[in-house]
């Protein structure tokens, strides 16, 4: 009885500590978000530095070249996207009015097939222009984070210079003199691979969408291409969020046929890049179930905003690997894992054997 009460108190203390930590992270998000963004940018760039070192290029020169590429392309892209966002924001009231008119036309077509819908009531509850506002608000919130661009860039530079020594420092700090702590190595390799592959896939998706919208003649095609690139990092619903404003604008500007082709372009690009190219190079990925990925998107988005949504999968993977490192919390890590067959079954069997041994020792 005393053991049960002690375990209950321990659980309550852990939960209270988690609430305090999460409250602190949310309160300090202005500091935490740029730091996390810097960490994951550095990890995404790290494979490029490693590749350059294989060709005998000094690490310092490789880091400088990578940073110069990021700065040049970042400034060019920021200028072009900023101009597109300003034009889009100026035209947004006109787009909203046209969209409401087109929405009324759709309701009229439904009336012809005896589907009665109250136009005024539906438009009052469902503002079709809100989807466009959502996209611009999300981009604006991300732009607010990037106002700390110089700070983020400096942190990335220092991290890239010290990237080689970080794993060794972690091993020593966690008392692993043999340098064989598999959980740390597994995490670093998994997140590096995930970010590198996801960045390339997202870049390919953005280029395809941008070219497709340019061919169709949709306004602000560069803005929607950047949106597709960024939101491809958000699992499950990111591509849908990126597609909605572009499809609605095509519907307003060029009619339902072009809107259909726009939607088709998003569907085909995401099917090819997300279901063919990405799994081929990523394999099992990071081993998270689809439900956990979706819930993590909601949780990290609430905690850290748009950047939290973009980094939801790597952040959840950190939690999963931390839970796997302790026998007491390994069962929670198994609940987060994907249903990929044999690996999960073996982990469950191993956990069951450990519990049986503990019970035998106690008896």
Torsion of CA 60, 65, 69, 75, to 10 degrees: 70
- The pLDDT score that the predictor gives to residue 11 is 74
- The pLDDT score that the predictor gives to residue 177 is 59
- The pLDDT score that the predictor gives to residue 345 is 44
Q: Buried (b) or exposed (e) across 320-340, using 16+ Cβ within 10 A?
A: bbebbeeeeebeebeebbbee
CA distance readout (Å), 44 to 31, 50, 156: 21, 11, 10
Half-sphere exposure of residue 147: CA atoms within 13 angstroms, side-chain side? 8
Mean pLDDT by groups of 10 residues along the chain of 363 residues:
64 82 83 83 80 81 85 77 73 73 71 68 57 60 66 83 72 64 68 77 89 89 85 75 84 84 89 76 62 83 81 79 71 71 47 56 58
> Roughly what angle, to the nearest 10 degrees, separates helices 29-54 and 130-145?
70
- The pLDDT score that the predictor gives to residue 341 is 44
**DSSP secondary structure string for all residues of 140-182:** HHHHHHGGGHHHHHHHHHHHHHTTTHHHHHHHHHTT-TTS--H
Question: 259 and 247 in contact (C-beta within 8 Å)?
Answer: yes
Location of structure tokens 């994907």: 338
pTM for the model stands at: 0.69
- The pLDDT score that the predictor gives to residue 343 is 47
């Amino acid at each position: 009885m005393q053991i049960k009460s002690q375990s209950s108190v321990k659980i309550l203390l852990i939960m209270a500590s988690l609430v305090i930590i999460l409250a602190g992270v949310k309160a300090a998000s202005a500091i935490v978000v740029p730091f996390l963004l810097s960490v994951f940018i550095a990890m995404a760039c790290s494979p490029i530095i490693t590749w350059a070192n294989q060709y005998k290029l000094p690490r310092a020169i490789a880091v400088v070249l990578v940073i110069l590429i990021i700065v040049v392309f970042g400034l060019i892209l920021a200028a072009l996207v900023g101009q597109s966002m300003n034009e889009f924001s100026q035209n947004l009231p006109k787009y909203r009015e046209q969209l409401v008119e087109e929405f009324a036309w759709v309701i009229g077509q439904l009336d012809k097939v005896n589907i009665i819908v109250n136009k005024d009531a539906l438009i009052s509850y469902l503002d079709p222009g809100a989807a466009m506002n959502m996209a611009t608000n999300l981009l604006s919130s991300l732009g607010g984070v990037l106002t700390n661009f110089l700070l983020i860039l400096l942190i990335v530079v220092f991290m890239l210079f010290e990237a080689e020594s970080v794993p060794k420092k972690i091993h020593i700090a966690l008392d692993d003199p043999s340098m064989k702590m598999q959980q740390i190595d597994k995490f670093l390799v998994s997140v590096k691979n995930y970010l590198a592959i996801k960045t390339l896939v997202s870049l390919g998706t953005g280029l395809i969408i941008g070219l497709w919208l340019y061919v169709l003649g949709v306004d602000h095609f560069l803005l929607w291409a950047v949106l597709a690139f960024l939101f491809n990092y958000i699992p499950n619903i990111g591509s849908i969020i990126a597609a909605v404003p572009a499809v609605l604008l095509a519907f307003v500007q060029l009619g339902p046929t072009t809107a259909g082709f726009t939607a088709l372009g998003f569907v085909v690009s995401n099917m090819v890049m997300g279901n063919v190219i990405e799994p081929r190079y990523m394999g099992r990925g990071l081993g998270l179930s689809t439900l956990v990925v979706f819930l993590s998107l909601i949780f990290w988005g609430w905690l850290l905003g748009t950047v939290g949504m973009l980094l939801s999968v790597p952040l959840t993977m950190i939690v999963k690997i931390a839970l796997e490192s302790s026998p007491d919390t390994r069962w929670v890590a198994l609940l987060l894992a994907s249903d990929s067959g044999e690996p999960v079954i073996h982990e469950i069997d191993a956990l069951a054997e450990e519990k049986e041994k503990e019970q035998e020792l106690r008896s």
